Amino acid sequence: MADTKFEFGWSADGRLMLGDEVLNSDSSRFWPADRWEPGRTQCAIDKQFVRNWAAGTGWDKTPPAPPVPDEIVAAR
């Protein structure tokens, strides 16, 4: 695991509560340890791979999103 986030909040009665899912591809980034190299974009086992692809398409994040090519889907 490269990093993760935990979201907490306070309940109405003052208890500290976990507010979201943890340790999955929405809350964490995973990199294969045997492929990690300093100073470069890492091989990510999470949704960052698709984010990186989308950023390179020139899409301005206005719906609808561009269709994801089959080779991008199959790459992970």
Q: pLDDT digits over 48-75, tens only?
A: 778 888 989 999 999 999 999 998 888 7
Q: How far apart are CA 72 and CA 54, in angstroms?
A: 10
How many angstroms separate the CA atoms of 45 and 33, rounded? 11
- Tens digits of residue pLDDT in 21-55: 888 877 888 888 998 889 988 887 777 778 888 98
Measured between alpha carbons, how far is 1 from 33 in angstroms, rounded to an integer?
A: 9
Q: Is the pLDDT confidence value at 76 over 70? A: no
